[in-house]
Amino acid sequence: MVLNTIRDANFDNKKVVIRVDFNVPIKEGKVTDNTRIKAALPTIKYLLEKGASLVVMSHRGRPNGKKSEEFSMAPIAKEFSTLLGLEVKLAPDVLGPEVAKMVKDLKKGQVLLLENLRFYIEETDNDVEYAKTLASYGDIYVNDAFGTAHRAHASTEGIAHYLPSYAGFLIEKEVKFLDPLLSNPEKPFVAIIGGSKVSSKITVLESLSKTCNTIVIGGGMAYTFLKVQGYNIGKSLLEEDYLDTAKSFLAKAKERGVKVILPLDHVCAATFAEDATPIAVDAPGIEGDLIGMDIGPKTIAAIVAEVKSAKSVVWNGPMGVFEFDAFSEGTKKVALALAECKGITVVGGGDSVAAINKFGLADKVSHVSTGGGASLEFLEGKTLPGIKALEKKMRRIYIAGNWKMNLTPSEGVKLAKELAEAVKGCNAKVMVAPNYVSLPAVVEALKDSDIIVAAQNMNDHLSGAFTGEVSPLMLKDLGVNTVILGHSERRAIYGESNELINKKVLLALAEGMDIVLCIGETLEEREGGKLEEVLTTQVNEGLKSVTVKQMAKITLAYEPVWAIGTGKTASPEDADDAHALVRSKIEKLFNKTVAEETIIQYGGSVKAANVKELMAKENIDGALVGGAALSVANFLPIVAFDK
């Protein structure tokens, strides 16, 4: 998993909308534990140092969509301001003209804290309009609230559809430590899973068993596993509905060669009470009416031995009722073992974090997760919406300017030179496609630039009696190795068929050229419900006989012809849906990897006003720009949309 992080963006003079987790305990109007606020300060200070102004968002408690003084962010604003050493203005609301004005008036280096996001039910409903309003408050979105990343809320997932989105330092660190445990952990890898119920941890067990060498099962959930192995468990916690599940897990673990450690002995009690007398049971089974409350010394020794030799350890869930001091020894000794381990040690889950904090060992492990439910779901292998929204596209953004039959050679050279200087430092791959008479001069003007020069079309023959036509050999001789094929105007005005376009595609590939292959439906086709039929045909026919290897040379450009010059517009959602459809057709033709790696540009009237929202979409990887490409003033904001 590779994320866009705040190290990847330019924040100078930008308004940044940042989601943090300031859901902290408050008593008598004062913050009683400011740990979460302190945890967000490195990201916040970094953004301010880089020249940003900040619109800070968080929830507090569960107001369930109703405004309430009880859940106001006012006490948090005071504590935040003190810790930051900077005045933090508190907005009177999340929405409304007064808030919009406060956002608009924000100056570089200033901080505004919005009221409780959950004063509106639209937040937890991930309402589109609510997310759009939040997005309107900034140029860039940053998420540093890992504890809420498992929720698809407007401020954690919805907003990322409308702004360039980046992870703060907290989220970056969480993913850095948690992701390898599921993908490629250093081995030996030991997973220590505790807690009260099998039902709440079975998915974690199943997920981790795919990558770990040893799994330790402790806490109340262990007794269900002991039961299926034929041991008596006294009056200990038992989930009868999960006996078959436990049995199945043990069988799968054995099949995978994963060592499973269950309690070898116990510390029990006659009653579940803090002042109960500890009773040692030197066996896996528990007789009579005793209740298992903690693991015994044999089990502790077995766990410590595994942890000592481990290169990766994850701990989620206590080994017993650690809240009661008489039954906390097992959990404490596990915490100490992690603290002494020389490998990577990760603690996740609310109870485990509480335990390691209780014993004062948090600074002795590699990473203590800030998100209870989020870290649990991450370890379960689930997709966290708030994290997914921050994933870096492995496909580089590709912005192409098609000059069509505009600009004389001298005008083209002037624009080319201006562009070469203007796009320096931009992250996007940039291409321009001049008219034929301008090609030689523009190629010369851009020879020392990273800008690609492409042809707008070519013939389907290398040579011959084709008056007025240009062959790929001619283009290559000029130093032009990229060509646009199948443009909507050539399909509509010159009647180019899918068969002809495919001949050009195959010829260009045979000559080692890169291709931008255009596809798209007309207004009549779209209104006639033929979108999928048209795109499927154009993809299948246009890429006929193309090999998997050759697909690396092809970029697709989806052009909704009906959105060009008709007064009608394609929403970013419409565009992304069409791109996803095209990607699915590529996968069917080739494979999933090819589909994921193929760049698909959008060619439906892209401009400075809509480029951020379009490029934030998962399946849109760039733009094929027409009129807006004819001046630096209009083209540069599209190329440098993320600056």
The catalytic site residues sit at: 487, 559
What is d(CA 469, CA 458) in angstroms, rounded to the nearest whole number?
Answer: 7
Q: How far is CA 64 from the centre of its chain?
A: 27
Which contiguous run of DSSP H or E holds residue 290? none
What is d(CA 219, CA 498) in angstroms, rounded to the nearest whole number?
Answer: 65
SS3 for 238-259, per residue?
CCHHHHHHHHHHHHHHHHHCCE
Q: Which of 97, 95, 91 is nearest to 112 (CA)?
A: 91
Instruction: DSSP letter for 468, please.
Output: T
Helices 198-208 and 169-183: crossing angle in degrees, nearest 10, is: 70
Q: Angle at CA 601, nearest 5°, toward 598 and 604?
A: 155
What is d(CA 68, CA 89) in angstroms, rounded to the nearest whole number?
Answer: 19
Going 360 to 377 to 260 to 318, the CA torsion angle's sign is positive
Strands (E), 115-196: 140-143, 165-167, 189-193
What is d(CA 190, CA 216) in angstroms, rounded to the nearest whole number?
Answer: 8
414 and 466 in contact (C-beta within 8 Å)?
no
Q: Which of 438, 554, 564 is nearest to 492 (CA)?
A: 564
What is d(CA 414, CA 435) in angstroms, rounded to the nearest whole number?
Answer: 14
Q: Under DSSP, is residue 165 helix (H, G, I), strand (E, B) or coil?
A: strand
Strand partners, 57: 19
Total count of residues recorded for the chain:
643
143 and 168 in contact (C-beta within 8 Å)?
yes
